[in-house]
Amino acid sequence: MNPLNDPFAAQREASHGAFTAAPPDLAQATGEEPWRTDAPPGETRGFTGAALAASAASAVAAEGGNPLVAAANALLNLIPQIRYTVHHPNPVWLREHLANEIRQFEARARGAGASPEQIGAARYCLCTALDEAAALTPWGGAGDWSANSLLVAFHNETWGGEKFFELLNRLMQQPREQLNLLELLYYCLVLGFEGRYRVLDNGRAQLDDLRHSLARTIRSVRGDYDAALSAHWRDEIAREDPHRFAVPLWACAALALLVGFGVYLGFDLALAGRSDKAFAMIGRLQIPSVRLQAAEPRAVHPTPPPRLAGFLAPEIAEGLVEVRDAADRSVIVLRGDGLFESGSATVIDRYQPTLARVAAALAQVPGAIVVAGYTDNVPVHSARFPSNWNLSVERAQAVAAILAARLGDAGRVRAEGRGAADPVAPNDSAANRARNRRVEITLLTAPPKLATPDTGVAGDAP
């Protein structure tokens, strides 16, 4: 049995002519627009979302895919307007106007090739949706609309909220054959028609499930719609300029970081240049001398025996180191040009045996060890070494680390940088500047015993 036969086809022709012709345009006769409302703004214009749904139906119909939706566009657009109109000046005229629109819908649908059964079923659903929209208004629910509704006039029934969904269930059994009618009923639901679900417990949730199921059924047959409501919403699509240069966000962030790093580096180098001058001024400071009265009898220092010079005699002979033994200390001088590459703080591999011999010599004598790095007065400006002082510190730390590892006692060794301070020769020639580039290893020993020339009795140094 065709799902469209009963109850709609048998009543289609008997109901024609139930309304008279519509009066002249209401806006011209009364000076009012048919859908104008006197309610405050925000209380009666709530059909924006539904109106968009009706516009979507218009867009689908405009593509030529559904003759029923195309023929019913005018009536579908009226459903949300009727529902949210608080006051209407002439409901009788409105009903006559809707009746004429329904007849025009039938004519358009027949012209588009729709079958009589489809037209009758579509008319039944449109009348039901329009009647419900009017019945929910103050001017339609309390008046004689229900007694003289569109459904009564065209189908001699007072309420179609039950049969609408009975028809929908039968149509969903044949979605491919009844796709056009299913889409029309879907738009009625989207535009707010509820029917029997309005009075059921949890009816809104059940209706939502039914609407989603219907949407999936339609999509499975027709496929997805174009995301745009209209393919011709603008006259001409602007062509992308292939030569247009677009800078990505990450590139802007990277450029900002690079600029910030450059500013930081510039300030760091400027500060380093000034720090060299400050260290040089500190190095030139002279501690004021104070003349003290010599104590009687005068102490005579005995000639100190060589502590390290004898042990490092081979290295001294090769010119690798210089050793100065004093009463309370011994100083080992390493030439920087043989110890490091230019502008580097890494000890050259061939100098490792020499440092091993120095560490072995230091292990023979107790005392604290101070490793001091020195440079010439030629400024150094690099990312790693912003100043001569930074270079001298890292060179001293490199030598101190090797000695501490060989001695096995890191607490004995301390590193410090002196920069260009305390030169051993004027920085007026390449040879003299090479002498100033050095590392000095100072071994601090216990003070020696002192003897008096008169008594020859030994005593501790003061």
Structural domains of the chain, with CATH: 9-222 (1.25.40.590), 313-448 (3.30.1330.60)
**Distance spanning both ends of the chain, measured CA to CA:** 128
DSSP state of 300: B
| pLDDT per position as a tens digit, 176-214 | 999 999 999 999 999 999 989 988 889 899 999 999 999
Cis peptide upstream of residue 423 (ω within 30 degrees of 0) = no
pTM score:
0.42
Lowest mean pLDDT among 45-49, 231-235, 340-344, 360-364: 45-49
Round the average pLDDT of the chain to a whole number and report it: 77
| pLDDT per position as a tens digit, 281-337 | 665 555 555 455 555 555 555 556 677 888 888 888 888 899 998 888 999 999 877
The Cα–Cα gap between 56 and 72 comes to 13
The residue among 6 and 222 whose pLDDT is bigger is: 222
- Alpha-carbon dihedral angle through residues 116, 118, 124, 127, given to the nearest 10 degrees: -100
The Cα–Cα gap between 125 and 139 comes to 22
User: Where would I find the beta strands (DSSP E) of 265-350?
Assistant: 321-325, 329-335
The percentage of residues in the chain with a pLDDT greater than 70, rounded to a whole number, is 69
| pLDDT per position as a tens digit, 151-173 | 888 998 888 888 999 999 999 99
Whole-number pLDDT of residue 383: 76
Burial of 403: CB neighbours in 10 Å, binned 0-12, 13-18, 19+: buried
Helix, strand or coil, per DSSP, at residue 98 = helix
Instruction: Give the H/E segment covering residue 440.
Output: strand 438-444
DSSP state of 351: G
Nearest C-alpha neighbor of 68 from the set 38, 42, 98, 106: 106
